[in-house]
Amino acid sequence: MNVFLRLITYVRPYLGRVCIGISATLVIIGLDAAQPLLMREVIDNILTPYFTEGNYIGGDFADTKIAADFDRLQFYALLLLGIYILHTIFSFINRYLLNRTGQDILFSLRVQVYDHLQHLGLRFYNDRSTGELMSRVTADVESLQYTVTDTLERVLVNIATIVIYGSILFGLSFELALITLLPMPLYSILIIFYNRTVRPYYTMARERIADISALLQDNLSGIRVIKCFAREGHELSRFTQKCKAFLTISITIIKTRVAFFPLSRFIISMGPLLVLLFGGRQIITGDLTIGTLFAFQSFLWRFYGPVESLTRINDTIVRAAASARRIFEILDTQPEIKDTPNALPFDRLNGSVEFQNVTFAYEHGPPVLQGVSLSAQPGQLIGLVGPSGAGKTTIINLICRFYDPDSGTVHIDGYDLKNMQRASLRSQIGMVLQEPFLFNGTIRDNIAYGKLNATETDIINAAMMANAHDFVCGFPDAYDTHIGERGVRLSGGEKQRISIARAILNDPRILILDEATSSVDTETEMLIQRALERLMEGRTTFAIAHRLSTVRRADCLYVIDRGKIVEFGTHTQLLASDGLYAHLCDMQFALEDT
């Protein structure tokens, strides 16, 4: 479907409102049309008889006629006043309803895009930058402001206006009306040429803006690194380049526009010129009255106005289509992982997990897991160890069903994950990551993220279990403390304990610990470790750890190397078998001794 027509479908829920708005506009057109006709009446039937060859002859008429003409003049003045009042009222109705609808459409479009983004899989995000996506949800949607309702209204109204005034022009003088249409073929050719030229430029402009947004987002997030490496000059140069690319395309658009609009205006101006020439000649020959030519000229600009307006609308449509295309690109992307129509919800999980001969590769890449089989019983602590890039995180991604295996199956509580609803699974999985992500808000908000209806009691309880309560109460605003973007005002250990409190409130049945204590000092590690032990109680836990001492007490350790499980067992069993795990332990303890 044409992008703009697709955009128009968003009007459907507000059709009643739009119809009233457009009807109000039609009334306004009618009121506008009445004004020159009334003026013609005043000029031709009231005022003109008082002049002969430009000289005033009013004194030659009887007082009764003059008084009657005054009355008629007042009547027409009152009529015009009434028209102006109605014009104001209907303009308000029209502007309010259509602008309001435009805003409602933007609102629903923005929410729809955001909701859709949330359901897209990790693969989608791997290929795109955050800034670029933000640009689509904010700048691209914003650029559609007024487009849908205004454009629809203006197209309909202008066509109606052209038809109405065209008919009036033909009614006033058939020959002059034909002359009025003479510039139109040339005008149409110009529009077609303009559209073809400018369309790709508008698309490029949206892409360049997205590039700027992406670089900005990336650089502001990484401002510490930029400062540490003293790369401000380098980054400024990169940013300037992106801005220059946008500037170049903007200037090209300006050049195209400034060439087109004056040229189109020039072509249109030929109409009134020809009408003046032929109309004036008809007056001299007595074939046309002055009032008719006056009215014709008035209507002429009201006829050309909508024609010109349609040209500008065309430009708006071309520009909006560039943004709309980028928005629909997101909406048309289908999540790679979807619930099947018959997918079942998980009740409260027991927490048994089983991988059966699982093989998996990321898009177009070599297999990262090959024939992996593992199992975890409810409440067990499972350690995943192995060199970087071995496939540990991929196992976690499959448990969370961020991806589906290429072959083999992942079962939880005996159910194949492909047959289960993702939301009911993920709501029962908790994660504590190496770099905990906290939202810009208060400590209270962040802990309560794990349970949106948490009471103060729940929050304090969770914080106590996470060894966070004491340091939180040390802040002047305690749980109401604003922690800044990504929790920037907290130390790494504090952030980690808040994230543990959040996970405790979530009460997950399966817990994922991904290097949760790797980036903190020994004392904080001890506090976090104790908090984690409380959190792990009664839950199936998968812990990824490079620091092997933290998973020593695991019920079972799976040693993964190059996508395969090379050995498994308890810490003692694996040491005894003298394989990769024993080797990794030796290396780590040797490192700690030095």
Partner 1 sequence: MTAITQNQLIPETIDIRQNGDDLILTANGEELHIDHIVRCFPFSTPDQWISLRDRDGTELGLLPTLDGLNTQSRARVEEHLKDRYDIPKIQTILNIENNKEGGTTWDIDTDAGPMDFTLRGDQNLNLNAFPEIVFTDAITRKRYKISDYTKLDRASQKIARAYLPMSSRHYSGRRGGRSRR
User: Cβ 306 to partner 1, closest distance in Å?
Assistant: 37
Interface with partner 1, residue 444, by CB under 8 A: yes
Dihedral sign computed on CA atoms, order 100, 102, 108, 110: negative
CB nearer to partner 1: pick between 285 and 457: 457
Q: Are 403 and 122 in contact (CB under 8 A)?
A: yes
Q: Give dist(CA 376, CA 511) in Å, integer.
A: 12
Residue from 167, 373, 440, 491 binding partner 1 (CB under 8 A):
440
> How do 407-412 and 415-416 pair as beta strands?
antiparallel
CB nearer to partner 1: pick between 338 and 482: 482
CB nearer to partner 1: pick between 444 and 509: 444
Interface stretch with partner 1, choices 126-134, 155-163, 440-448, 568-576 (CB under 8 A): 440-448
User: Cβ 135 to partner 1, closest distance in Å?
Assistant: 23
User: Cβ 94 to partner 1, closest distance in Å?
Assistant: 24
User: Cβ 275 to partner 1, closest distance in Å?
Assistant: 51
User: Cβ 469 to partner 1, closest distance in Å?
Assistant: 7
Interface with partner 1, residue 390, by CB under 8 A: no
User: Cβ 464 to partner 1, closest distance in Å?
Assistant: 5
Interface with partner 1, residue 64, by CB under 8 A: no
Interface stretch with partner 1, choices 82-90, 160-168, 267-275, 439-447 (CB under 8 A): 439-447
Q: Which of residues 450-489 bind partner 1 (CB under 8 A)?
A: 455-458, 460-461, 464-465, 469-470, 472-474, 476-480, 482, 484
User: Cβ 458 to partner 1, closest distance in Å?
Assistant: 8
SS3 call for 570: coil
Residue 397 CA to chain centroid, in angstroms?
Answer: 27
CB nearer to partner 1: pick between 486 and 564: 486
Q: Which of residues 261-320 bind partner 1 (CB under 8 A)?
A: none
CB nearer to partner 1: pick between 407 and 455: 455
CB nearer to partner 1: pick between 431 and 465: 465
Q: Are 514 and 431 in contact (CB under 8 A)?
A: yes
Identify the bridge partners of residue 383 per DSSP, sorted by sequence position. 543, 557
Interface stretch with partner 1, choices 178-186, 356-364, 381-389, 437-445 (CB under 8 A): 437-445
Q: Are 10 and 102 in contact (CB under 8 A)?
A: no
User: Cβ 89 to partner 1, closest distance in Å?
Assistant: 24
User: Cβ 7 to partner 1, closest distance in Å?
Assistant: 29
Q: Which helix (DSSP H) or strand (DSSP E) does residue 568 occupy? A: strand 564-569
Angle of helix 290-332 relative to helix 232-284, nearest 10 degrees, comes to 150
If one counts every other C-beta atom within 10 angstroms of the C-beta of residue 344, the result is: 12
Q: Give dist(CA 549, CA 537) in Å, integer.
A: 19
CB nearer to partner 1: pick between 374 and 501: 501
SS percent in the chain: helix, strand, coil, step 5 = 65, 10, 20
Angle of helix 63-119 relative to helix 147-172, nearest 10 degrees, comes to 150
CB nearer to partner 1: pick between 206 and 469: 469
User: Cβ 478 to partner 1, closest distance in Å?
Assistant: 5
User: Cβ 447 to partner 1, closest distance in Å?
Assistant: 12
CB nearer to partner 1: pick between 477 and 537: 477
CB nearer to partner 1: pick between 444 and 497: 444
User: Cβ 467 to partner 1, closest distance in Å?
Assistant: 11
Contacts of 348 (CB under 8 A, 6+ apart): 428, 509
Q: Are 390 and 545 in contact (CB under 8 A)?
A: no
User: Cβ 480 to partner 1, closest distance in Å?
Assistant: 4
Structure token pair of residue 345: 């919800």
Q: Give dist(CA 411, CA 482) in Å, integer.
A: 41
User: Cβ 472 to partner 1, closest distance in Å?
Assistant: 8
Contacts of 383 (CB under 8 A, 6+ apart): 543, 545, 551, 554, 556, 557, 558
Q: Is 555 exposed, middle or buried (0-12, 13-18, 19+ CB in 10 A)?
A: middle
CB nearer to partner 1: pick between 423 and 473: 473
CB nearer to partner 1: pick between 406 and 477: 477
Q: Which of residues 366-385 bind partner 1 (CB under 8 A)?
A: none
# of chain residues touching partner 1 (CB under 8 A): 23
| Burial letters 146-170, b for 16+ CB under 10 A, else e | bbbbbbbbbbebbebbbebbbebbe
Per residue, the 3-state secondary structure of 123-149, as one string, reads HHHHCCCHHHHHHHHHHHHHCCCCHHH
Which residue has tokens 């001794």? 593
CB nearer to partner 1: pick between 459 and 520: 459
CB nearer to partner 1: pick between 161 and 524: 524
Q: Which of residues 484-523 bind partner 1 (CB under 8 A)?
A: 484
Q: Are 380 and 540 in contact (CB under 8 A)?
A: yes
Q: Could you list the beta-strand ranges (E) of 455-548.
A: 510-514, 540-544
CB nearer to partner 1: pick between 317 and 448: 448
Q: Give dist(CA 171, CA 173) in Å, integer.
A: 6
Q: Which of residues 531-590 bind partner 1 (CB under 8 A)?
A: none
SS3 call for 52: strand
User: Cβ 459 to partner 1, closest distance in Å?
Assistant: 9
Q: Which of 292, 425, 505 is nearest to 416 (CA)?
A: 425
Catalog residues that contact partner 1 under the rule CB under 8 A: 440, 442, 444, 455-458, 460-461, 464-465, 469-470, 472-474, 476-480, 482, 484
